């Protein structure tokens, strides 16, 4: 479809810089508004811009409320994937130039659109991100406890691993030479316990939300058939993606996660480099963690869940055996453990997509 006007919007927390590009005349109109999207709608209607109109702005902290408002007002609006935008080489940059640049990119078809989630999908993503934030806080809190033990030259030698049941019993009873040090350690340790309880509360809430939705629960059960994908990982995938059918194929999903290798080829020679690391970084870390289990010498056991169709379970079983053999091959070939793990995660993305979208 050919549009008569393309509108680029440079969004901020307090204002929106708008640039309208009229294709027929080449005319450019600029205006600055507050963060209220209704002001943009009134401005478009008052200026009687040629229809049809298509709008664009970059994905960012302002979310998707602007896109939803413009779409509900009858205008088409897309949200540009920031990591997929062309690199700029101009020496002058400001909000007005950014808005015009987005409008021209949209008119030339150079914008890679992101999926605009529904309110339910966005709420599930908020839950998933809350869990991620709590996990990061917990990781830092545990690191602070370990750093304090190192600072005070306090050694723990009862077991090899920290944060085991034995370590916790030891941490609750330890007394330092100085009462001030004991007070500091107690508070740092109590923060770890508090964050663990908070993480458990969040995960239980996510489980309840998904179990109340039959479609989401069915999708989660499918993913849990894959060896290495546990309940937490499956529910994270469900919260972040929700609908796998919006991807064209498994390779497209792997690209969204950022696990496809970069490439710098010329002529007949194909040269690939590190993974792109674009897209959803949280999801990438979850999938790499799932792929890590194939490094263990654990026999692959078929997941038996009668509520999951037989063809889906068979596909998941094939996936598990394939990835297990693939990792062994990569290690024998001389690849490092980390590179092999990422390569398995890359292939696991495709299997996740096909199992999630496989007809029953």
| CA–CA distance, 137 with 281 (Å, rounded to integer) | 17
Assign 259 to helix, strand or coil.
coil
| CA–CA distance, 215 with 247 (Å, rounded to integer) | 18
At 162-203, the pLDDT tens digits run 899 999 999 999 999 999 999 999 999 999 999 999 999 999
In this prediction, residue 299 carries a pLDDT of 63
Of residues 276 and 42, more confidently modeled? 42
Domains of the chain plus CATH, in order, are: 5-108 (3.30.420.40), 119-211 (no CATH), 214-357 (no CATH)
| CA–CA distance, 21 with 29 (Å, rounded to integer) | 7
Phi (first) and psi of residue 34, to 5 degrees: -75, -175
Give me the helix-helix angle, 231-241 and 119-151, nearest 10°: 130
Kindly list the distances between the CA atom of residue 94 and the CA atoms of 100, 104, 309, in Å, as whole numbers in the listed order.
10, 15, 55
109: left (phi over 0), alpha (psi -120 to 50) or beta: left
By DSSP bridging, strand 28-34 and strand 5-11 are unpaired
Residue 326, class by beta-carbon neighbours within 10 Å (0-12 exposed, 13-18 middle, 19+ buried)?
A: middle
At 135-166, the pLDDT tens digits run 999 999 999 999 999 999 998 888 888 899 99
Kindly list the distances between the CA atom of residue 72 and the CA atoms of 41, 69, 82, 92, in Å, as whole numbers in the listed order.
11, 5, 24, 35
In this prediction, residue 54 carries a pLDDT of 95
Q: Which pTM was predicted?
A: 0.84
Q: How far is CA 194 from the centre of its chain?
A: 26
Asked if residue 340 has pLDDT above 70, the reply is: yes
């Amino acid at each position: 479809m050919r549009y008569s006007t393309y509108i680029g919007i440079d969004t901020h927390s307090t204002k929106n810089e708008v640039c309208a590009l009229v294709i027929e005349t080449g005319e450019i109109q600029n205006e600055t508004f507050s963060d209220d999207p209704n002001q943009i709608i009134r401005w478009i209607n008052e200026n009687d811009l040629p229809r049809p109109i298509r709008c664009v702005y970059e994905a960012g902290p302002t979310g998707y409320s602007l896109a939803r408002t413009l779409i509900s007002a009858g205008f088409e609006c897309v949200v540009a994937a920031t990591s997929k935008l062309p690199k700029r080489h101009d020496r002058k940059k400001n909000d007005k130039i950014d808005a015009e640049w987005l409008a021209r990119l949209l008119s030339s078809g150079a914008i890679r659109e992101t999926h605009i989630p529904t309110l339910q999908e966005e709420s599930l993503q908020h839950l998933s991100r809350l869990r991620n934030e709590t996990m990061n806080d917990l990781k830092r809190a545990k690191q602070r406890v370990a750093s304090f033990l190192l600072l005070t030259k306090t050694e723990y030698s009862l077991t090899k691993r920290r944060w085991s049941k034995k370590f916790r019993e030891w941490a609750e009873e330890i007394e330092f030479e100085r009462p001030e040090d004991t007070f500091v350690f107690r508070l740092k340790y109590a923060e770890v316990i508090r964050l663990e309880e908070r993480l458990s509360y969040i995960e239980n809430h996510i489980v309840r939300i998904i179990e109340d939705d039959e479609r989401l629960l069915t999708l989660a059960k499918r993913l849990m058939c894959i060896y290495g994908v546990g309940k937490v990982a499956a529910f994270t995938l469900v919260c972040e993606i929700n609908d796998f059918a919006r991807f064209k194929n498994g390779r497209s999903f792997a690209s969204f996660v950022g696990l496809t290798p970069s490439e710098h080829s010329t002529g007949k020679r194909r040269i690939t480099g590190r993974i792109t690391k674009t897209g959803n970084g949280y999801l990438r870390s979850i999938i790499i963690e799932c792929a890590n289990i194939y490094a263990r010498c654990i026999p692959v056991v078929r997941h038996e869940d009668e509520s999951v169709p037989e063809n889906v379970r068979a596909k998941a079983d094939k996936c598990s055996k394939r990835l297990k053999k693939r990792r062994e091959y990569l290690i024998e070939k001389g690849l490092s453990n980390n590179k092999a793990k990422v390569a398995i995660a890359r292939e696991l993305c495709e299997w996740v997509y096909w199992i999630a979208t496989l007809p029953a």
